[in-house]
Amino acid sequence: MKRWLMILLLALTGTGWHGLHAGEARPRAENELTEKRLVAISSELRCLVCQNESLAGSNAELAVDLRREIRTLINDGKSDTEIMEFMVSRYGDFVRYRPPLKGSTLLLWFGPGLLFVAGLLALVLYLRRRDRAIKDTPLTAEEQRRAEALLQDQDSRQGHP
């Protein structure tokens, strides 16, 4: 009984979700290629109102306006690079999710790599120093004697439980 109820519920919510989805994802332009390029370009851009959303995914008013603007630019025959330049010249490099490589972004691009190399170097240095410390301090005669005594003691115990 319970299982059937579950299946019924799942089926119901499934159809409900599908129905909603179909209503939302209505293509807005007749040209499918334009829409594909629009999505590709706007996924690379940050929405400045909701800064952790891409322009493709945001419902902010400005995002809607900018998507309309990009659609117009595509229809005007502008290339992706030109559209990117259009956006950057107005909103700065900040709109790009992939910041360009230049003086002010060097640390951003190579900082993590540098940190990794520094960590690796520190690790190697530490291990080498420890290695040397172990090799450089041989046992004294007294320690040697005690170690042997202990080992023999264990041997004898193992021999005669």
Partner 1 sequence: MNRFLWPLVGFVVLVVLLAVGLRLNPRDVPSPLVGKPAPAFALPRLDTPDKEFSPKEMLGKVWLLNVWASWCVSCRQEHPVLVELAKRQTVPLVGLNYKEVRGDGAIDSDKVAPGDEKRMVIERAAGWLRKHGDPYTLSVLDVDGRVGIDYGVYGVPETYVIDKAGIIRMKHTGPITPEVFSGRILPLLAELSK
Residue reference for tokens 């170690």: 147
Per DSSP, 94 falls in state G
Q: Should residue 18 be labelled a site residue for partner 1 when binding is judged by CB under 8 A?
A: no
Q: Should residue 66 be labelled a site residue for partner 1 when binding is judged by CB under 8 A?
A: yes
Q: Please, which of residues 100-159 interact with partner 1 by CB under 8 A?
A: none
Instruction: Please answer whether residues 63 and 49 qualify as being in contact, where contact means their C-beta atoms are separated by less than 8 angstroms.
Output: yes
CA-based diameter of the chain, in Å?
Answer: 95
Q: Should residue 56 be labelled a site residue for partner 1 when binding is judged by CB under 8 A?
A: no
Residue reference for tokens 């629009």: 38
Q: Which is nearer to partner 1, 43 or 51 (CB)?
A: 51
Using the rule CB under 8 A, give the single segment among 7-15, 27-35, 60-68, 76-84 that binds partner 1: 60-68
Using the rule CB under 8 A, give the single segment among 3-11, 13-21, 58-66, 134-142 that binds partner 1: 58-66
Q: Should residue 44 be labelled a site residue for partner 1 when binding is judged by CB under 8 A?
A: no
Q: Which is nearer to partner 1, 136 or 142 (CB)?
A: 136
Q: Report CA 81 to chain centroid distance, whole Å.
A: 25
Per DSSP, 44 falls in state T
Query: In whole angstroms, what is the distance from residue 54 CA to residue 42 CA?
Result: 7
**What minimum distance in Å lies between the beta carbon of 67 and partner 1?**
11
Q: Which is nearer to partner 1, 16 or 92 (CB)?
A: 92
Instruction: Please answer whether residues 124 and 116 qualify as being in contact, where contact means their C-beta atoms are separated by less than 8 angstroms.
Output: no
